[in-house]
């Protein structure tokens, strides 16, 4: 038994050395990654604008719009060998989905995020003095389309970049809170082109941008709290999907609805951070892929690329 333990420890030690060689990429890679993500998104958005000006079929426009949100993944693919030297893309994907997730987490998030939007709708009705009968929902016939478009958009196209790479890389250098905050800021300002073409101007645009940023930064912190428990990308993908999907179910002026929703998510993030404050602000707590992979090596003999 002792011989087995010694062999396991030796194997783990070897894997530790292999992993640490790729533990942290240069800071310059972070800057290049973020810059390229902004640039690629802008180029894809411009191409989408051209397609819309040519009056291509609506389904082509929808596909093009969704492709824009895949910019973070496209840049990961473009920079992959530079960001993850010695690691195959298959291994990269495996690492991002290897954590075990309690299925009840998905149900809990559905209830909580649904409640946030429901309260936001209620607050808006109260503020305008309107009744519940004034609320319109997406028709059943459009529900499936809304689901598919939302599922194949930002939640699927962005998370491998924002959380699969950027959050983890930042957390190797910063606390969980600061890492989630920085990703939220980068993620929020990434939407600048959408703010410009939103149709809002003056104070309405300022408020829209403020609501948007508060929502995105708060959502990023919420994702960070849940995601850092298992490091499985299904969690941020689910949270991101619910944020977009639930809002799309309600047909009303997005400006005030987003304002109330931003308050809800800010409160949600604050409560979670207070509950998890020790872990979120612990300066000794860093993203340690080596620990996760060493545990995998010790229990399943999974090979780590040298």
pLDDT band for position 110 (cuts 50, 70, 90): very high
Q: What is the dihedral of CA 194, 198, 203, 204, to 10 degrees?
A: -120
Asked if residue 118 is part of any domain, the answer here is yes
Residue range 103-126: mean pLDDT, rounded = 96
State residue 13's pLDDT score. Answer: 42
> CA–CA separation, 72 vs 172, rounded Å?
20
Q: How many CA atoms lie within 13 A of 201 on its CB side?
A: 1
State residue 132's pLDDT score. Answer: 84
**96: CB partners within 8 A, 6+ apart:** 160, 164, 231, 232, 233
Asked if residue 1 is part of any domain, the answer here is no
pLDDT band for position 22 (cuts 50, 70, 90): very low
Residue range 287-297: mean pLDDT, rounded = 52
Asked if residue 5 is part of any domain, the answer here is no
Asked if residue 226 is part of any domain, the answer here is yes
Q: Which residue has the tokens 């009705």?
A: 125
In whole numbers, what is the pLDDT of the chain averaged over residues? 87
Interval 200-222: pLDDT, tens: 999 999 999 999 999 999 999 99
Residue range 139-164: mean pLDDT, rounded = 94
Asked if residue 7 is part of any domain, the answer here is no
Residue range 120-142: mean pLDDT, rounded = 90
Interval 33-70: pLDDT, tens: 999 999 999 999 999 999 999 999 999 999 999 999 99
Q: Which residues pair with 219 in a beta bridge?
A: none
Q: Which residues pair with 137 in a beta bridge?
A: 250
Q: How many of the other CB atoms lie within 10 Å of CB of 291?
A: 12
What's the number of domains the chain is made of? 1
Residue range 287-301: mean pLDDT, rounded = 48
pLDDT band for position 29 (cuts 50, 70, 90): very high
Q: Which of 235, 304, 294 is nearest to 92 (CA)?
A: 304
Instruction: Tell me whether residue 158 is exposed, middle or buried, using C-beta atoms within 10 angstroms of its C-beta: 0 to 12, 13 to 18, 19 or more.
Output: buried
State residue 285's pLDDT score. Answer: 81
State residue 27's pLDDT score. Answer: 86
Where in the sequence is the domain holding 32, given as residue range(s)? Answer: 12-300
State residue 23's pLDDT score. Answer: 52
Asked if residue 241 is part of any domain, the answer here is yes
Residue range 227-231: mean pLDDT, rounded = 92
Interval 1-13: pLDDT, tens: 444 444 444 444 4
Interval 241-272: pLDDT, tens: 999 999 999 998 899 999 999 999 999 999 99
Asked if residue 2 is part of any domain, the answer here is no
pLDDT band for position 289 (cuts 50, 70, 90): low
161 pLDDT higher than 60: yes
Structure tokens at 27: 């800071």
25 pLDDT higher than 90: no
> CA–CA separation, 12 vs 297, rounded Å?
7
Asked if residue 6 is part of any domain, the answer here is no
pTM assigned to the model = 0.86
106 pLDDT higher than 60: yes
């Amino acid at each position: 038994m002792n011989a087995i333990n010694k062999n396991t420890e030796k194997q783990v030690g070897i894997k530790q050395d292999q992993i640490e060689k790729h533990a942290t990429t240069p800071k310059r890679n972070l800057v290049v990654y973020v810059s390229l993500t902004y640039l690629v998104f802008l180029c894809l958005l411009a191409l989408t604008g051209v397609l819309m000006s040519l009056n291509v079929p609506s389904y082509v426009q929808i596909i093009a719009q969704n492709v824009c949100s895949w910019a973070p993944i496209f840049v990961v693919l473009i920079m992959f060998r530079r960001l993850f030297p010695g690691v195959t893309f298959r291994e990269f994907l495996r690492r991002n989905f290897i954590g075990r997730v309690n299925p009840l987490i998905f149900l809990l998030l559905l209830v909580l995020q649904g409640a946030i939007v429901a309260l936001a709708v209620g607050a808006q009705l109260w503020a305008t003095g309107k009744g519940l009968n004034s609320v319109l929902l997406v028709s059943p016939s459009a529900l499936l389309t809304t689901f598919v478009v939302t599922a194949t958009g930002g939640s699927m196209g962005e998370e491998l970049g924002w959380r699969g790479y950027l959050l983890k890389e930042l957390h190797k250098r910063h606390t969980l809170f600061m890492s989630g905050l920085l990703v939220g800021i980068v993620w929020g300002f990434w939407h600048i082109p959408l703010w410009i073409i939103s149709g809002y101007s003056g104070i309405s645009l300022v408020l829209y941008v403020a609501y948007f940023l508060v929502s995105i930064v708060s959502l990023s912190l919420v994702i960070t709290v849940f995601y850092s428990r298992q490091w499985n990308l299904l969690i941020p993908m689910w949270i991101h999907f619910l944020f977009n999907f639930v809002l799309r179910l309600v047909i009303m002026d997005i400006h005030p609805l987003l304002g109330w929703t931003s308050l809800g998510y800010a409160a949600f993030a604050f409560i979670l951070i207070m509950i998890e404050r020790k872990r979120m602000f612990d300066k000794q707590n860093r993203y340690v892929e080596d620990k996760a992979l060493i545990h995998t090596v010790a229990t399943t003999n999974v090979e780590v690329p040298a």
